[in-house]
Structures are given as structure tokens and as C-alpha cells.
């Protein structure tokens, strides 16, 4: 066996081990990003008058409504993402919230692509977009609740329990 063959074999083992633990990055992403937005949402909700004033200064229409909407989106969305409960669904308004922040507030400050690349909001939007596509991972309430469903065949519950990525696309859920 050549050195190249040995390296390829070793790399294949490394990749297999990584693939067995894909739930870890999903969990870390959920806890850190979701936790951050839970905290910022809580701060906004507790200080709605100040947030409304900032929305007025930014020229955002219906400032009181939009300040509350933004704060509660972050608070509730962040909590759901941390728990891994309805993660894919909760990620959608979080992405929208970040896009709106960039378009309505941050875009006014941009003079180059470098300025855009230095913004935090696109990174947050990408994190939530990744969670929307990848799902919450094995260590999530979504996964636990799906595993506990008694109306699903035992083989489906076993498949859900042992897979690293939550995907209900292959699970046929009974109607009614």
C-alpha cells in the first residue's frame, strides 16, 4: 500500500467520523445564534419605547409596530432556535429580519462591498439560512418530538432516532 493510498484511507475514516457528528455544528449554531437573538429580542421588548424612537430616527414606517415586531421576532425566534423547536420555520422570519435591517438601516452607511462584508447582519442571515436548510440536528426538540410520535411506524421512529440530520421529507406523516 502506497503512502497516497494510506492517506486516502485515513482521510476516508476522518470524513466518516465527521459525518457521524454533523449534529454538533447544528447544535452549536442554534445555541449561539439563537441565544444571541433571544437576548437581543428580550432587550428590545423590555425597551420598546427606546426601540420605537430608534425606528423613528431610521425612518422606518409604523415604528412602534415594527419595533415590537422586530423584538418579538428575535425573542421568540431565538428561543425556538435554541430549543431546536420548529427550527426551519423559525429561521425564515429571522432571515427576513436581518435582510430588512440591512436594507432599511445598514445600506445607508455602505460605500463599498468591503463595508457590506464587514456587517454582522448578513452573517446572521446566512446562519439562519443554513439552519433552515440543514435543520436543527439530532440534539433538538424537533427530533425528540418526531421520535416520540406513536402514530409513525417503528421503523420510521428508529430511522429518525439514528439519523444525524432531521429531515421529514422522507417521513410519511399520516393525515387526519
Any idea where the domains of the chain sit in the sequence?
21-136
Q: Does pLDDT of 118 surpass 60? A: yes
Closest alpha carbon to 64 in 72, 74, 53: 53
Q: What is the pLDDT of residue 51?
A: 97
Q: What is the pLDDT of residue 161?
A: 59
**Mean pLDDT computed over 93-118:** 91
Q: Does pLDDT of 158 surpass 70? A: no
Q: How far is CA 159 from the centre of its chain?
A: 23
Q: What is the pLDDT of residue 83?
A: 97
Closest alpha carbon to 106 in 60, 42, 174, 45: 60
Q: Is 34 exposed, middle or buried (0-12, 13-18, 19+ CB in 10 A)?
A: buried
Q: Does pLDDT of 97 surpass 80? A: yes
Q: Does pLDDT of 147 surpass 90? A: no
Closest alpha carbon to 148 in 139, 160, 137, 163: 160
Q: Does pLDDT of 176 surpass 60? A: no
**How many CB atoms are located within 10 Å of the residue 154 CB?**
8
How much of the chain, in percent, has pLDDT values that exceed 70? Answer: 88
- The more confident residue out of 115 and 170 is 115
Q: Does pLDDT of 167 surpass 50? A: no
Confidence of residue 148 (pLDDT cuts 50, 70, 90): confident
**Mean pLDDT computed over 145-160:** 75
Confidence of residue 146 (pLDDT cuts 50, 70, 90): confident
Q: What is the pLDDT of residue 152?
A: 73
Task: Tell me the per-residue pLDDT of 74-91, one tens digit each, with 9 for 90 and over.
Answer: 999 999 999 999 999 999
Amino acid at each position: 500500500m502506497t503512502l497516497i493510498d494510506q492517506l486516502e484511507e485515513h482521510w476516508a475514516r476522518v470524513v466518516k467520523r465527521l459525518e457521524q457528528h454533523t449534529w454538533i455544528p447544528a447544535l452549536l449554531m442554534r445555541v449561539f445564534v439563537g441565544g444571541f437573538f433571544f437576548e437581543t429580542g428580550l432587550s428590545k421588548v423590555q425597551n420598546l419605547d427606546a426601540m420605537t424612537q430608534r425606528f423613528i430616527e431610521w425612518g422606518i414606517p409604523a415604528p412602534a409596530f415594527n419595533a415590537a415586531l422586530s423584538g418579538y421576532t428575535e425573542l421568540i425566534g431565538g428561543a425556538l432556535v435554541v430549543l431546536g423547536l420548529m427550527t426551519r420555520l423559525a429561521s425564515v422570519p429571522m432571515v427576513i429580519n436581518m435582510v430588512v435591517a440591512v436594507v432599511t438601516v445598514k445600506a445607508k452607511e455602505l460605500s463599498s462591498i468591503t463595508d457590506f462584508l464587514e456587517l454582522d447582519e448578513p452573517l446572521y442571515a446566512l446562519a439562519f439560512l443554513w439552519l433552515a436548510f440543514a435543520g436543527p440536528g439530532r440534539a433538538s426538540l424537533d427530533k425528540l418530538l418526531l421520535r416520540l410520535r406513536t402514530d409513525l411506524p417503528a421503523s420510521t421512529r428508529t430511522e429518525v432516532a439514528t439519523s444525524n440530520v432531521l429531515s421529514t421529507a422522507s417521513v410519511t406523516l399520516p393525515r387526519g
